Amino acid sequence: MTEPRKINWQQWLFILGFVVSLVIVVVFALQAFRHAPRPRADEPIRSWMTIPYVSHSYHIPEYVLYQALDLPRVPRDRRPLTAIARLQKRTVASVITALQDAIKLSRPPYPTPLPFPPGATPPPTPPPAVPRGPA
């Protein structure tokens, strides 16, 4: 019977280096996963947000939000909602409520219809209205 082969110091050093490198890779992978950007869609409106940020997050044109606050559209406007509220002498809560109402009104209240599956016949469309002449 053969004796188990002994591991010399160079092989131990190699194994130790391999284990340390695996630990480092796992730590960095966990950090990258934890700090990965998450999609920012419909997140609650906060006082630090800007109009362009809210517009991007909710997929609403900026002009809709500026109209809701009675503000002229300013290119590259990076004022947070707290500064806008202070400028208008309003509370931040009322500014956020106005933005939420504008978002609700600018979105359709119904889901978009799904396309018809292949082979299915769509329902008949009504005939166009005939314009009437002066009576």
| The predicted structure's pLDDT at residue 28 | 93
Q: Per-10-residue mean pLDDT for the chain, 135 residues long? A: 80 94 94 76 87 90 91 84 94 95 82 62 67 59
State which amino acid sits at residue 26: V
| The predicted structure's pLDDT at residue 107 | 81
- The structure tokens listed for 98 are 């106005």
| The predicted structure's pLDDT at residue 48 | 94
pTM of the complete model: 0.54
| The predicted structure's pLDDT at residue 36 | 74
128 sits in which H/E element = none
| The predicted structure's pLDDT at residue 21 | 97
Residue 49's φ and ψ, nearest 5 degrees, are: -75, 155
For residues 118 and 96, give the distance between their C-alpha atoms in angstroms, rounded to a whole number.
44
| The predicted structure's pLDDT at residue 97 | 95
